[in-house]
Chains A and B, each alone.
Chain A
Amino acid sequence: MKFAVVVFPGSNCDHDAYHAAKHVLGQDAEFVWHKDADLKGADVVILPGGFSYGDYLRTGAIARFSPIMRAVRGFADRGGPVLGVCNGFQILLEAGLIPGAMLRNRSVKFQCQQVHVRVEQIDTPFTSACRKGQVLQMPIAHGEGNYFAEPDVIARLEANRQIVFRYSNAAGEVTDEANPNGSAAAIAGLCNESRNVVGLMPHPERACESVLGTADGLVVFESVVESLKSGALVARA
């Protein structure tokens, strides 16, 4: 099983994602430069965190026009599993693969801390090994993670069960204090309508080994490996 980790100029979690796939999970993994046109036969695509194009204009606004994004969109359209983490999530939003946009955190500060998220949906390739309502501890590190969409869009996301992760406390209660950035509906992660594209602000790839303080993120990667093994996903790049 092969993971493709897309590298944009300014990506800085690409090696973490590669490490999680290759060394922690023991899967094949390859970096794909953003100017490449194909995904090298990958089964899973990860858009990693970082500051692509220095966050110029808006986070993810320039990266969405990188040549590789045409291949990522095609892969997603064919049902291939795509995970966007932090800046990768911001790129998915700018590219319109997931609805909504990010605003500056309500604190107007870069928030770098451990948070808890509650798994709301387990019928996505990246949460299929979770229990519904499971609480995961993972770090966040972002200045623009304050998710915004108009109320009718939020209502549609709720109705379609596209809210995959919500910020919560350690007990799994969604409270305003547990929301680190002011996101609407405490949204920490979303999927697209066909559920194969998932984006989230917390960093599962930085939470795959207990030596890092938490290994709760590993289940996100284990989920996609299991989903692919079970044949639930068939698309290939």
Chain B
Amino acid sequence: MRARVFVTLKPSVFDPQGKTIADALHSLGYGSVEDVRQGKYFELDLATSEAAQARALAAEVADKLLANPVIESYRIEID
């Protein structure tokens, strides 16, 4: 199965890169883009056909390595 892990900065954490991207978009004329938050996206190919098992494994590696819980949170999709 494939797990998709989306890692994003927590809402309380300022995102200097997202702010810079938002500023760039504003200078390009996209004033309606109010805010940008940059994150990371991972695709994990897992040797299991059990969705629950895949989700548990993805969460384990996200907790251990993919995300830093001090500044980041994550969301998992399984397919």
Contacts and interface: CB of A to CB of B under 8 A. Distances in A.
Interface of A: 57-58, 61, 65, 93-94, 99-101, 103-108, 146, 148-150, 182
B7 to A, nearest CB: 10
B13 interface: yes
Contacts, number: 39
Which of B9, B15, B20, B68: most chain A CB closer than 10 A? B68
A104 B16 contact: yes
B41 to A, nearest CB: 12
Interface of B: 9, 12-17, 19-20, 65-66, 68, 70-71
Contacts of A106: 14, 16
Nearest to A144: B16
A101 B16 contact: no
Contacts of A94: 68
A182 B68 contact: no
A101 B68 contact: yes
Contacts of A148: 13-14, 70-71
Contact of A58 (B14, B17, B68): B68
Q: Which 6 A-B pairs have the closest CB atoms?
A: A101-B70, A101-B71, A104-B16, A108-B20, A108-B16, A106-B16
A108 B17 contact: yes
Contacts of A61: 65, 68
Contacts of B12: 150
11 contacts: A57-B65, A65-B65, A93-B70, A101-B70, A103-B9, A103-B13, A103-B71, A106-B14, A108-B19, A150-B12, A150-B70
B16 A103 contact: yes
A62 to B, nearest CB: 8
